[in-house]
Structure 1
Amino acid sequence: MTEFDAVYYDGRTSARKPVRVRGYTLAIQIVGDGLRLEVPLGKVHVDPPIGGTRRALHLPDGAQLQTDDHRAVEALFPRRHALEGWVHRLERRWLYALAAIALVVAFAWWSVVDGLPLAAKIAAGFVPVAWDAKLGEQTLDFFEGRLCRPSALDAARQQALQRRFAKLTAGLADGYAYRLLPRNCRGVGANAFALPGGAVVMTDALVKLAQNDDQISAVLAHEIGHVRHRHGLRMALQATGLAALAAALFGDATSITSLATTLPVALLQNGYSRELEAEADDYAFQRLREVGLSPKAFAEIMLLLEKVHQKTSGGETKDYFSTHPATAKRIQRALAAP
């Protein structure tokens, strides 16, 4: 049996009455001057402890007990005490509560900024290269059915660009079937984007903007870098979230190909992260040097694209920097590359 002193309020008047409370297995007994009550434990509602204030026990019909004997209340209602213990301790240690909130916020931020990208990178490593081609084809179907038509460039111009692209992809034994797809795309502007599997879409507007073919080669080398590092797949996995990551890790080809509905939006609306862009830039600089071209051509075309971006930003047309975030640092790195 548990006993403790308390103050009784009948819930109808403001009168307070000192009482003795006896706790039994199924009920409590309240004894005072002219008062004797028995209340089943199941009908007693116990307020959680708040700092060092009195503990309130709510009885039927609005009556209430108040006591300073927290230990007795906790002994009488052990299950409720277990559930309320953390709240009580956090209230007494508000610094711990603030630290816990900060940790939750920090973890949520890390999950979005670093956690999902890292998980997507790991998961992409479990996806066979053969699946990239299927994902790329389905994504290409989306573009060609909604945004892009065959290129309006003359045949000789297209052939010259194809030779440039072939030079950049020659000897790349990575399992991808590289192909350049010149297209006249509505609402995309001067742009180029790589698809999983090796297809690189290049718009007529980009060709017209470039001052020379070395600048076009620089953009294409950058896009090849996205293919080799599987950035399109990683971005689609990241955008789709945990379900797609699990599918990649466990080899569910059907679920992976459903990413084709996510990738076009990710490519055109979200764009690549700075980390992925830097990775593709580094590959482009290296590859340009290997084929006898200067990385400075990359800086030149970036400057031209930046001018276009400044004129068109805020409109409906997507330009290169809508899908490939640019910074002065990227241009400086290209100029500094040997």
Structure 2
Amino acid sequence: MLRFPARYNDGVTARTRMVEAVLEADALVVLERDGGAELDRWPRASVRLLDRPNETGDKRLTAGAGDTARLIVADDRVIAALMAALPELRRAERGDRRTVRRVWVLGIGAIVSILLILFVFLPHLSGAVASAVPDSVARELGESTFESMADFAALGGGREAPACTAPAGREVLDGLVRRLAAASDYDGPLEVRVLDWSLVNAFALPGGIVVLTDGMIEFAGSPEALAGVIAHEIGHVAGRDPLRAMVQAAGVSVILGLLIGDVTGGGALVLASETLINARYSQAVEEVADGHAVRTLNSAGIDARPLADFFERLLGDMAELEEALRIISTHPPSAERAGVIRAAAGARGGAMTAAEWAALQAICTQ
């Protein structure tokens, strides 16, 4: 019979007791050191060693899987004696290793599954969903998103009602949009709006809505460059890219919400709206929109080279111009993109007269 001192925790309270343990013929018995009252009794076949026997320091014994009680032994000679007397003692160690491996495998599998859903299946699914959304529903989404953008613009220092509608500028813009629409291979709904917002950017929204900021009109530098920006955004509209981005963003929000507790998906719509403000389309999607822009400009007789110059100017100024950094983050330009656009530019005409350009630049002044 093996008797040895140990420390005992019943797994229910935080209290640790000094005890004596006795290895009897059928069980490992835990006794109070003072008085000898029996505190616990573990069948011999259930006793397991939780720590590796060659590790330094205390060793923990337990009564098997699911038991939270612990018997802590400081003497390695006792552990050696127990290992000799209990052949099953170390099976827990091997089992724990298998359990840890299973946990790691399952955890890595879950992470890979989530990544596949977010970056492979969801993008493909979002395209199918976007194609199935009726135009009327897409328009409602676009209007709701535009209202959110107007709120952002107001917070950014614009007017309380920041839509720009100066009649002379509006007339020029409408004429340019009609010209681009007629030259485009997109025949769906199309409306271009301007927000009094210093942010330099342009957005395509669901339902055929394109939003220009006053900052973009100012930064474009020429009517031909601005026409190229509009034609590019029309390309996103034609590809239903904004609707796909919203579906994907909402799906990501729902998935993350399920993971972190927002099971109502309440943040999905907010995230979807913000996605279009900060949308960074893939390089392939941007190239398709670039191609649409160049074809449209060529068909309309407008020189596309200023659009290439616009991208190069963004690259040149990005180190010192905060607004350029913002648009680069959402529509990343590159020397390669500019080169492709310049090489494909076949027309040499202007987008409008100098007087019309001045009127358009003043569209937010009324």
Short-chain TM bin: 0.5 to 0.7
Q: Matches of 2:175 and 2:70 in 1, distance apart?
A: 90
TM-score by length of 1: 0.65
Residue 226 (1) aligns with residue 242 (2): no
Q: Matches of 1:257 and 1:194 in 2, distance apart?
A: 24
Structure 1 pair 334–70 and aligned structure 2 pair: CA distance change class (3 A): farther
| 99-108 or 159-168, which deviates more | 99-108
Q: Is the 8 A contact 1:195 1:232 kept in 2?
A: yes
Structure 1 pair 115–330 and aligned structure 2 pair: CA distance change class (3 A): farther
For residues 57-82 of structure 1, give each alpha carbon's deviation from its aligned partner in whole angstroms, at most 9, with x where no partner exists.
4467947773368874699xxxxx7x
- In the alignment, what sits opposite 1:252? none
Identity of counterpart residues, as a percentage? 21
Residue 199 (1) aligns with residue 212 (2): no
SS of 2:196's partner is strand
Identify the match of residue 123 of structure 2 among 117, 120, 127: 117
SS of 2:140's partner is helix
Query: How far did 1:266 drift?
Result: 1.6
Identify the match of residue 135 of structure 1 among 134, 138, 141: 141
- In the alignment, what sits opposite 1:67? 83
Counting only pairs closer than 5 Å after superposition, residues 242-257 of structure 1 correspond to structure 2 as 242=252
Structure 1 pair 51–219 and aligned structure 2 pair: CA distance change class (3 A): farther
- Runs of 5+ in structure 2 lacking a partner? 8-17, 30-37, 64-68, 74-78, 256-263, 346-366
Q: Matches of 2:169 and 2:70 in 1, distance apart?
A: 90
Counting only pairs closer than 5 Å after superposition, residues 128-207 of structure 1 correspond to structure 2 as 128-147=134-153, 149-151=162-164, 155-170=167-182, 176-185=188-197, 187-189=198-200, 191-207=201-217
Structure 1 pair 308–177 and aligned structure 2 pair: CA distance change class (3 A): farther
SS of 2:276's partner is helix
- In the alignment, what sits opposite 1:240? 250
- Runs of 5+ in structure 1 lacking a partner? 1-5, 23-27, 31-36, 76-80, 246-254
Identify the match of residue 286 of structure 1 among 295, 303, 324: 295
Query: How far did 1:7 drift?
Result: 6.5
Query: How far did 1:134 drift?
Result: 0.4
State the one-letter code of the partner of 2:147.
D
For residues 290-311 of structure 1, give each alpha carbon's deviation from its aligned partner in whole angstroms, at most 9, with x where no partner exists.
3344543321222334455443
Structure 1 pair 290–67 and aligned structure 2 pair: CA distance change class (3 A): farther
Query: How far did 1:226 drift?
Result: 1.4
- In the alignment, what sits opposite 1:209? 219
Q: Matches of 2:70 and 2:330 in 1, distance apart?
A: 66
Q: Matches of 1:100 and 1:157 in 2, distance apart?
A: 60
- In the alignment, what sits opposite 2:33? none
Structure 1 pair 179–170 and aligned structure 2 pair: CA distance change class (3 A): same
Q: Matches of 1:230 and 1:173 in 2, distance apart?
A: 14
Q: Matches of 2:246 and 2:169 in 1, distance apart?
A: 33
Residue 332 (1) aligns with residue 348 (2): no
State the one-letter code of the partner of 1:181.
R
Q: Matches of 2:315 and 2:167 in 1, distance apart?
A: 29
For residues 173-213 of structure 1, give each alpha carbon's deviation from its aligned partner in whole angstroms, at most 9, with x where no partner exists.
8674201113322x413x22111111111233333333443
For residues 269-297 of structure 1, give each alpha carbon's deviation from its aligned partner in whole angstroms, at most 9, with x where no partner exists.
45434343233223223333333445433
Q: Matches of 1:257 and 1:174 in 2, distance apart?
A: 34
- In the alignment, what sits opposite 1:274? 283
- In the alignment, what sits opposite 2:350? none
- In the alignment, what sits opposite 2:41? 39
Q: Is the 8 A contact 2:48 2:88 kept in 1?
A: no
SS of 1:241's partner is helix
Q: Matches of 2:186 and 2:104 in 1, distance apart?
A: 50
Q: Is the 8 A contact 2:6 2:72 kept in 1?
A: yes
Q: Is the 8 A contact 2:49 2:90 kept in 1?
A: no
Q: Is the 8 A contact 1:135 1:196 kept in 2?
A: yes
Query: How far did 1:221 drift?
Result: 1.0
For residues 242-292 of structure 1, give each alpha carbon's deviation from its aligned partner in whole angstroms, at most 9, with x where no partner exists.
5668xxxxxxxxx99986533442233454343432332232233333334
For residues 110-154 of structure 1, give each alpha carbon's deviation from its aligned partner in whole angstroms, at most 9, with x where no partner exists.
5554454344334323433321100100111122344162437x6
Aligned residues: 296
Q: Matches of 2:188 and 2:265 in 1, distance apart?
A: 18
Identify the match of residue 321 of structure 1 among 324, 328, 343: 328
- In the alignment, what sits opposite 1:11? 6
